[in-house]
Amino acid sequence: MKIQTLLAAVLLALAQAAPAQTTANQTSNLPDWAIGPFTRASQEPVIQPNPDSVFDCPISKKPVNWEKAWTYNPAAAVKDGKIIVLYRAQQGPGNTCSRIGYATSEDGIHLKTEPTPVLFSAEDDQKSFEWSGNERVGGCEDPRLAESPDGTYIVNYSQYYGRSFRLGIATSKDLKTWTKQGATFAGTKWESKPKKSAAIVHEIKNGHLVAAKINGKYWMYMGDSAVLAATSDDLIHWVPLEDEKGNWKSVMTTRSNKYFDNLIVEVGPQAVLTDKGIILFYNGVNNHGEKANPDYPPGGYCGGEALFDRNDPTKLITRLDKPFIQPELPWEKNGLYKDGTTFIEGLVLFKNQWFLYYGASDHYVGVATAPYKP
């Protein structure tokens, strides 16, 4: 632990010495439909591992240092005048079971974490999908948050049990006490298919992000090798869109190595419905070797934005040619994931400003901000 702590201190010292900067490619010349430009609101992680946090696992009946090694991949929402961030955490080598922690902030930058997780594997009807039989793998991973018009919060997360994974969904009134609803696609042929990264389309109401209906339905984007879509009447029961052959219908794919998203296009935080269309935030991954774009780190996760038709969420209009954020600071490149990530996963509109939370190198949580332009 001493070596790990020393390494973390060195990385943070390097980060503090780095000058304030605009995110990747100085994207101040964004098209008028895009949200941004985003700038890092802190040169340091806003959430980092805490070896002192102890949680009594309800399955193993043992205390675990559940966020000792890695804290990353955050979701975010606004409640009672504060930003709430849910984040994935793991104890570390030999125990990589994921649990979801809870943090609050009054300014979006300084966050206070709770000592115990709020969503985790337990002795419940979802145990077989979230517990591999030991602490080595499994758990609840990579949350994406949504807020319904009636104030209920919905989280889509990956249920992982060691051999495969699926999308799970849970609901809450306070973002702390969660009721697991089972599979996101329960009752469909896609119920246990290995899909992840599901973000619901929101609109801005009274300066606040709220889940939006389009043509009488709620909409959600999901996936990583390609972007897929699904619809719902109640934000809990979802049906994926299919093509004429009954397969997943792809609404966006990777591009050639001329671009940064030539390997993966993994859905990020809430999509935003605007007058220009639906803005989808996503994580583009650059390939390795001859298939890579030399302008970006091989294997690195960079943030992109795509625009879909506001009346037809399956119709892709355009997307940014370059990422608006990419791994730059030492702690965004030298964590568990050595290729580097600025994995965008949490978005809120707070006090007339956008706050975008991202996972850094599968190790820390960072935040970037952008002005809100009504």
Mean pLDDT of 245-256: 97
pLDDT of residue 28: 62
**pLDDT tier for residue 163 given thresholds of 50, 70 and 90:** confident
Measured distance CA(45)–CA(330) in Å, rounded: 11
Measure the CA–CA gap between 152 and 146, rounded to whole angstroms. Answer: 8
DSSP string, 93-153: TTB--BEEEEEEESSSSS-EE-SS-SB---SSTTHHHHB-SSSSSBEEEEEEEEE-TTS-E
Read off the DSSP letter of residue 190: T
Q: What are phi and psi of 184, to 5 degrees?
A: -60, -35
Alpha helices in the chain, H assignment, sequence order: 2-17, 127-130, 330-333
| C-alpha span between 117 and 107 (Å, rounded) | 22
Strands 165-172 and 39-40, by their bridges, are unpaired
pLDDT in tens, 262-315: 999 999 999 999 999 999 999 999 999 999 999 999 999 999 999 999 999 999
Identify the band that residue 134 occupies on the pLDDT scale cut at 50, 70 and 90.
Answer: confident
21-27 mean pLDDT: 46
Sign of the CA dihedral running 32, 33, 36, 37: negative
Average pLDDT score over the chain? 93
**How many Cα atoms are found within 13 Å in the side-chain-facing hemisphere of 212?**
21
Domain boundaries, the chain: 2-371
**Once rounded to an integer, what is the mean pLDDT over residues 7-36?**
58
Query: In the predicted model, what is the mean pLDDT of residues 90-107?
Result: 96
pLDDT score of 15 = 41
φ, ψ for residue 340, nearest 5 deg: 90, 140
Percent of the chain with pLDDT over 70: 93
Judged on CB neighbours under 10 Å (0-12, 13-18, 19+), 30 is middle
**Contacts (Cβ under 8 Å, ≥6 apart) of 373:** none
Which fold is adopted by the domain 2-371?
Tachylectin-2; Chain A (2.115.10)
The pLDDT, as a whole number, for residue 19 is 39
β-strands 198-205, 271-273 pairing: parallel
Q: Which residues of 163-184 are buried (b: 16+ CB within 10 A; e: fewer)?
A: eebbbbbbbbeebeebebbbbb
pLDDT the model gives residue 5 = 41
